[in-house]
Amino acid sequence: MTPRQQRSMLIRKLMFSISALEDLGRALSSEERFEVRLRSVLSGIMGSLPVARGGLFLYRAGEPLGGWLRLAALRGMDLGPGLSLPFPREVREAFPQTGAPLPCREAPPAVADYLRSYRIIFDGLEAAILQPLRYRNEFLGLVCLGPKYSGGEYGPEDLELLRIMGAYSAIGLHNQYLLTNLEEANDHLRQRAAENARLCTDLREMYRDTIRALGTAIDAKDPYTKGHSDRVARYSVAIARSMGLPEDEVGALNLASYLHDIGKLVVDNCILCKPRGLDAGEREIINRHPLISYEILSNIRFPYRDVPLLARHHHERLNGSGYPDGKKGEDLTTAMKVLSLADAFDAMTSDRPYRPALTVETALAEIVRCVRDQFDREATGAFLGILRREAEGGIADDGILATLRHGGGELSPFLIRLESSLH
Ligand SMILES: [Fe+2]
């Protein structure tokens, strides 16, 4: 062969190698299932040499001998699926660290013994060459090829092409393992996140139920306050939302509505249920309940920090004549004013030992009369607006008005008059 012919032959081989590598790259990165891609990779390697028989094994570490080889793709013979061979550590370590292909006849004793131990496969493949698949120092698999189709020897260009294809395939395998690990980690994280979300919901519901149960226990202390905490919570949350208060204040109001009277738990029942004629000492004991509520609630870590203070000031009045601190309007937050209004409205519209429940009209007229001295104008206006909208839309079963006594007559014009009297 002339030098010119030799050069031309080399260029042809080079072009062929490049296109074989291109095919291999396509096979590795295709959208096919992993196993299908592995078969394409083996076909690509075999076709580029070409050889008639070959197998691709994937390595995984494991006991008892240090690892396993799983037959992932096979061509030129049939062995049935799912074959795994033990792959002892000393055999794996006998392969060249460089990632170069190993002709079987030059195999070190550990590898040669191994090939003999599994003749059924390696003799079946007429194993001529072994190409380890390594990524850096990691052993990922092995390609075993039979003799060349032409019957000729594996030349240096064949071995170099095989080495490059082996390195190329190992990178593809490594990427696949990374992706699989990432997906598994993602799945695991997704499961954990769903579990945490479930736990959070359960905890939130348990917390809400506990608060409600506590509210019911507080109400039960006094037969005339049955359902009080539930109603105060509904009124105050509706008013706060209508006034555009931030959600954390609405949340604090909701909790405080259930717990504001917790201090009553330590007040003697004879005083609490006395129909009339409390003496000064008894009055003082009753009037201390917001303070006791505050002290009890201050020991609890609520998700909103204002709950104890809201309980403390739910009987304050804007003119400073309330209790326990005699705070004036400017010292009270909007949420405190809302709670005070909701609490008073429910007290007025509930039966008491000394009088039946007031009608909505009477209670609201009284509240409007006390705006400035006792109740906040804006909160009162918001509450009237809520009730008016409800009255205009017909009284819903689960609305505020449905459970209250009415004085007869149309409620909506009455409410409009009250609202306009506020301005
Ligand atoms: Fe109270």
Q: What is the pLDDT of residues 217-227, one digit of tens each?
A: 888 877 778 88
Distance CA 302, CA 211 (A): 11
CA 263–ligand 1 middle distance (angstroms): 8
Q: pLDDT, tens digit, for every residue of 377-404?
A: 999 999 999 999 999 986 666 789 888 8
4, pLDDT greater than 80: no
Give distance in angstroms: CA of 343 to centre of ligand 1: 7
Q: Would you tell me how many other CB atoms lie within 10 Å of the CB of residue 388?
A: 18
Q: Contact 363/405 with Cβ under 8 angstroms?
A: no
- CA 200 to centroid of ligand 1, rounded, Å: 32
What number of CA atoms fall less than 13 Å from residue 175's CA on the CB side?
11
CA 387 to centroid of ligand 1, rounded, Å: 23
Answer positive or negative: Cα dihedral of 277, 281, 287, 292.
Answer: negative
Q: What is the pLDDT of residues 306-329, one digit of tens each?
A: 999 999 999 999 999 999 999 999
Question: Is this structure's pTM higher than 0.95?
Answer: no
Residue 20 CA to ligand 1 center (angstroms) comes to 86
Instruction: Evaluate whether 76 touches 44 at the Cβ level (below 8 Å).
Output: no
